[in-house]
Amino acid sequence: MRRSRWFSILLVLLLSVPVVNAQIETITFPAGTPEDQGLAAISKEPDPQKKLTMYADFLQQFSSNPAAVAYGNWQIAQAYQGAGDLPKALEYGDKALASAPHNLDILVSQASIAQQMKSNSKLLNYAVRGGEAYNSIGKGAKPEGVSDQDFASQASDQKSLAKNSYDFLEAAAFNVIVDESSAKERMSDIERFTSAFPNSRFEEPVTSYAMMSLSELKDTSRVIAFGERVLAANPNSLPTLLMLAGTYVEDPKPGSAGKAVGYAQKAVAAARADNKHFCVPLHVVHKRAEGLARVLMNRRVARISADAGSRVGIDLYLDAGIEIAFNGYARERIPFREQDLCFFKTL
């Protein structure tokens, strides 16, 4: 509520890149307009209660202007949030979103209120809407007379300016997944998350939660559908490739082992893009140990080493992938090639 009017208007002007034709909405009031003058008068009022009354009058006076309605309701929502009346804050924030449904600042504000209320369902709704709005930047039709380079540059600039808001919403949505105890609800949350936040920085833990949830639900077809949706957005997702490979290798249906090998080979190809891992060469066999695959070479455990910059658990993914490939070859009697188990380039 104490954020100055001029800072708010400057912020939305900085975030406003109309030529990009993106889906993020911004609120601007040209200097000297009646709306601008009304907000100037409100900003001079020191009493919080009188300010609320003035914002209510502002809403009534400019009820035909969606931007004014969104901004006025948003300011009232922030005032109620500051006063600790979270239900009222959420109510007025939703009114603001009704007039500006793709405004990222308002979505972030609503998500923070939902967090305070410990309402994970509402928090996820706001976060998903924000993620979808952010990822729509630059996907609209290019305006006539704008070069491809300028269009891409302006979209990149707008994404850069909105990145902190996107990161906040992404982390908030991930925490909803972590907090959910029901496998059914958690999987529903994961499906919404992966759609709104493709190529997420939380991709590996989210995939692990998906595997855990679907294992509890015993729903193989849903595992496959989920994995294919993730790969449509990120074809080189190593956790997802190995999840699908592992699902198919456990599936007794004819042809499943061949599909397991196919996904394991794709995991090999994805992994080869990372030069930070050693190669596992020559004669390799496998065994089960405490539920995790282990690679044996010359009667010694050959662990896949990785430097400090590598992702946590990558060596276990590799072991699982090697086992999947080996099992698939054995079941389908596919000609075995030792080079297929060399998953990574040498350093």
What single DSSP character describes residue 85? -
d(CA 347, CA 332): 33
Please answer whether residues 293 and 319 qualify as being in contact, where contact means their C-beta atoms are separated by less than 8 angstroms.
Answer: yes
227: CB partners within 8 A, 6+ apart: 240, 243, 244, 247
Output 340 or 110, whichever has higher pLDDT.
110
d(CA 200, CA 193): 9
pLDDT digits (tens, 9 = 90+) for 2-43: 333 333 333 333 333 333 444 678 888 899 999 999 999 999
* Residues 314-342, mean pLDDT to the nearest whole number: 40
pLDDT digits (tens, 9 = 90+) for 137-173: 988 788 888 888 888 888 888 899 999 999 999 999 9
Cβ count within 10 A of residue 253: 9
| Per-residue model confidence (pLDDT) at position 23 | 61
What single DSSP character describes residue 292? E
**Res. 289 pLDDT band, cuts 50 70 90:** very low
Of 241-250, 263-272, 338-347, the range with the lowest mean pLDDT is: 338-347
d(CA 22, CA 136): 6
| Domains located in the chain, CATH noted | 1-179 (1.25.40.10)
Residue type at 164 in one-letter notation: N
Please answer whether residues 4 and 97 qualify as being in contact, where contact means their C-beta atoms are separated by less than 8 angstroms.
Answer: no
Kind of pairing between the strands at 292-297 and 300-301: antiparallel
Identify any residues that bridge with 294 across adjacent strands, giving them in sequence order.
Answer: 287
Identify the three-state secondary structure at position 294: strand
294: CB partners within 8 A, 6+ apart: 286, 287, 288, 301, 319
pLDDT digits (tens, 9 = 90+) for 99-133: 999 999 999 999 999 999 999 999 999 999 999 99
Residue 270 in tokens: 């994805």
Please answer whether residues 198 and 135 qualify as being in contact, where contact means their C-beta atoms are separated by less than 8 angstroms.
Answer: yes
Residue type at 246 in one-letter notation: G
Per-residue pLDDT at 254 exceeds 60: yes
Of 10-14, 70-74, 82-86, 258-262, the range with the lowest mean pLDDT is: 10-14
271: CB partners within 8 A, 6+ apart: 238, 277, 318, 321, 343, 344
Output 45 or 319, whichever has higher pLDDT.
45
Per-residue pLDDT at 342 exceeds 50: no
| Per-residue model confidence (pLDDT) at position 244 | 84
Q: Is the dihedral of CA 18, 22, 24, 25 positive or negative?
A: positive
Residue 66 in tokens: 């969606």
